[in-house]
């Protein structure tokens, strides 16, 4: 077989993985811009906006057991509609009019990296 044919097969096989890696990279950039102020750069809920008088504790995305209770759809809905959609704090703003579907999906994938989990189905 030709090297180019094998290279082409390799690229096709790696496509989904490369897309996921690219999304995670984009997700990290978006996270640092939109989320880290409250959730912290490492996702532990300890961002610089969280002071002694902050009314709620932002979610710690590194808590695998808690994040596994959430489906990707649950996370997506909170990103789009804000905290109140999930009976959480109104301090979590809705980003659905700011971020497009691909950006939201990249954020979901990045949050899954932070918790090293896949979440529940659904």
Residue-by-residue pLDDT tens, the chain, 122 positions: 555 444 444 445 544 544 454 555 999 999 999 999 999 999 999 999 998 888 888 999 999 999 999 999 999 999 999 999 888 888 899 999 999 999 999 999 999 999 999 988 76
Q: Tell me what pLDDT residue 95 has.
A: 98
Q: Tell me what pLDDT residue 6 has.
A: 43
Cα 39 from Cα 47, distance rounded (Å)? 5
Q: Tell me what pLDDT residue 22 has.
A: 54
Q: Tell me what pLDDT residue 23 has.
A: 53
What's the CA angle centered on 110, arms 114 and 25, to 5 degrees? 120
Q: Delimit the domains of the chain by residue range.
A: 18-45+58-115
**Residue 74 per-residue DSSP state:** H
The CATH H-level (homologous superfamily) assignment of domain 18-45+58-115 is Cytochrome c-like domain (1.10.760.10)
Cα 112 from Cα 42, distance rounded (Å)? 13
**Residue 31 per-residue DSSP state:** H
Cα 25 from Cα 103, distance rounded (Å)? 11
pTM of the model: 0.78
Q: Tell me what pLDDT residue 64 has.
A: 97
**Is the CB of residue 30 less than 8 Å from the CB of residue 110?**
yes
Give the three-state DSSP class for 120: coil
**Residue 27 per-residue DSSP state:** H
Give the three-state DSSP class for 13: helix
């Amino acid at each position: 077989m030709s090297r180019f044919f094998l290279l082409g097969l390799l690229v096709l096989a790696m496509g989904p993985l490369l897309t996921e890696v690219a999304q995670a990279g984009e997700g990290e950039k978006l996270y640092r811009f939109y989320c880290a102020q409250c959730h912290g750069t490492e996702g532990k809920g300890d961002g610089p906006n969280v002071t002694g008088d902050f009314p709620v504790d932002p979610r710690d995305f590194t808590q695998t057991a808690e994040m596994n209770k959430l489906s990707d759809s649950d996370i997506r809905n909170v990103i789009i509609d804000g905290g109140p959609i999930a009976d959480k704090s109104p301090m979590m703003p809705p980003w659905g009019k700011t971020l497009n579907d691909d950006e939201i999906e990249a954020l979901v994938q990045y949050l899954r990296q932070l918790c090293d989990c896949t979440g529940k189905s659904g």
